[in-house]
């Protein structure tokens, strides 16, 4: 479905760019052609950079509920559209929307603080020292794994399943499947446990065993909380973001193609 019904004929655009010279030069060119207004007043946000900058944009401006059209001016651009011929307005009107729902992370730290954050890709737990992490895993209040000994463990959204999750040998999840991935990172015990695919509404709780000797950090995308004692993860019930993709290379097609790469 194209976005013609979502946007005005001449949508007001806010141009956001990564600090690289290439992205900044592109921003200057687009602003000279289309003008520029603050994100809160825009009909669409245009993010110029790589995937890291797209995630920054979603974290900073996701609460505005504006669709985001990304264009690749960086090294990794899975969430971005390619640079190519065609006017920007035409491309935005022809784009197909992908609605993403982030994960909510709530961390209880050793100091007694409670810290929350959102993750559009994944929430990952990692050992802070050379000592392996020991983690108990509960799903919806029921213990499913008494002790996972590992370098770490993560929970990924479908959009994030091709990133860190895939590198950790987790599954690629199709958009709209209403599932999340639970994936261990270098699991030592149980040695053959490869993780699980869970319903998106599942509440995942990690309890850190022996946190003083074996400290663990928890990271939602790039927001890290150190010395975690307990980490609860659930799909957000009230936050969504809409990314816009050129129809010939939409996000669903990219995720499918990623599973058939031979090299």
* Binding residue ranges: 51-52, 121-122, 151, 159, 162-167, 186
Q: Per DSSP, what are the bridge partners of residue 108?
A: 114, 230
And the tokens for 207?
A: 């309890």
- What's the longest Cα–Cα distance across the chain? 60
CA distance 258 to 141: 34
And the tokens for 63?
A: 């609460």
Domain boundaries, the chain: 13-101+240-258, 103-235
* pLDDT at residue 4, as a whole number: 46
Predicted TM-score of the model (pTM):
0.88
> Which residues are within 8 A (CB) of 137 and not within 5 positions of it... i.e. 6 or more apart?
143, 144, 145, 148, 153, 182, 204, 205, 206
CATH of domain 103-235: 2.60.200.30
Cis peptide before 14 (omega within 30 of 0): no
261: pLDDT confidence band, cut at 50, 70 and 90?
low
Q: Where are the beta strands (DSSP E) in the chain?
A: 13-17, 44-49, 68-72, 96-100, 103-109, 114-119, 122-127, 133-139, 142-150, 152-156, 179-185, 196-199, 204-208, 216-220, 223-225, 228-235, 241-245
125 neighbors 206 (Cβ within 8 angstroms): yes
Nearest to 45 by CA among 124, 262, 34, 212: 34
Residue with tokens 């690289």: 20
Task: Please determine, for residue 5, whether its predicted confidence score (pLDDT) is greater than 70.
Answer: no
Strand order in the sheet with 96-100: 13-17, 44-49, 68-72, 241-245, 96-100
Question: Would the CATH topology of 13-101+240-258 be identical to that of 103-235?
Answer: no
Q: Per DSSP, what are the bridge partners of residue 15?
A: 46
* pLDDT at residue 7, as a whole number: 64
Question: For 100-120, how does the pLDDT look when each residue is reduced to its tens digit (9 = 90+)?
Answer: 999 999 999 999 999 999 999
CATH homologous superfamily for 13-101+240-258? Probable inorganic polyphosphate/atp-NAD kinase; domain 1 (3.40.50.10330)
85: pLDDT confidence band, cut at 50, 70 and 90?
low
Question: Per-residue pLDDT averaged across 160-189, rounded?
Answer: 93
Q: What is the DSSP letter of 214?
A: S
Q: How many helices (H) and strands (E) does the chain have?
A: 5, 17
Q: Which residues are catalytic?
A: 51
Nearest to 49 by CA among 14, 87, 75: 75
Phi, psi (degrees; rounded to nearest 5) at 30: -65, -40
* Binding residue ranges for NAD(+): 51-52, 121-122, 151, 159, 162-167, 186
CA distance 189 to 169: 16
> Which residues are within 8 A (CB) of 104 and not within 5 positions of it... i.e. 6 or more apart?
116, 117, 118, 119, 233, 234, 235, 236
1: pLDDT confidence band, cut at 50, 70 and 90?
very low
78 neighbors 159 (Cβ within 8 angstroms): no
Question: Per-residue pLDDT averaged across 20-46, rounded?
Answer: 95
**Across 2-6, 16-20, 191-195, least confident range:** 2-6
10: pLDDT confidence band, cut at 50, 70 and 90?
confident
Half-sphere exposure of 120 (CA within 13 A, CB side): 23
* Pairing of the two strands 216-220 and 223-225: antiparallel
């Amino acid at each position: 479905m194209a976005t013609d019904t979502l946007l005005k004929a001449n949508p007001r655009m806010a141009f956001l760019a990564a600090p690289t010279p290439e992205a900044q030069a592109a921003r200057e060119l687009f602003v000279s052609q289309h003008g520029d207004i603050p994100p809160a007043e825009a009909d669409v946000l245009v993010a110029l950079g790589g995937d890291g900058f797209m995630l920054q944009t979603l974290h900073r401006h996701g609460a505005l509920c504006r669709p985001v059209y990304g264009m690749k001016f960086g090294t990794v651009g899975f969430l971005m559209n390619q640079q190519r011929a065609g006017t920007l307005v035409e491309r935005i009107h022809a784009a197909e929307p992908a609605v993403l729902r982030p994960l909510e992370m709530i961390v209880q730290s050793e100091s007694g603080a409670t810290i929350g954050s959102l993750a559009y890709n994944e929430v990952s737990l990692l050992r802070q020292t050379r000592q392996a992490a020991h983690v108990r895993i509960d799903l919806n209040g029921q213990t499913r794994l008494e002790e996972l000994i590992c370098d770490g463990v993560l929970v990924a959204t479908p959009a994030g399943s091709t990133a860190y999750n895939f590198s950790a040998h987790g599954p690629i999840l199709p958009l709209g499947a209403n599932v999340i991935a639970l994936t261990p990172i270098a699991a030592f015990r149980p040695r053959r446990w490869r993780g699980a695919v869970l319903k998106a509404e599942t509440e995942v709780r990690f309890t850190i065993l022996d946190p003083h000797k074996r400290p663990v950090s928890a990271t939602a995308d790039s927001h890290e909380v150190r010395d975690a004692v307990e980490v609860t993860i659930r799909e957000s019930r009230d936050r969504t973001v809409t990314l816009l993709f050129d129809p010939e290379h939409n996000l669903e097609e990219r995720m499918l193609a990623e599973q058939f790469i031979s090299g």
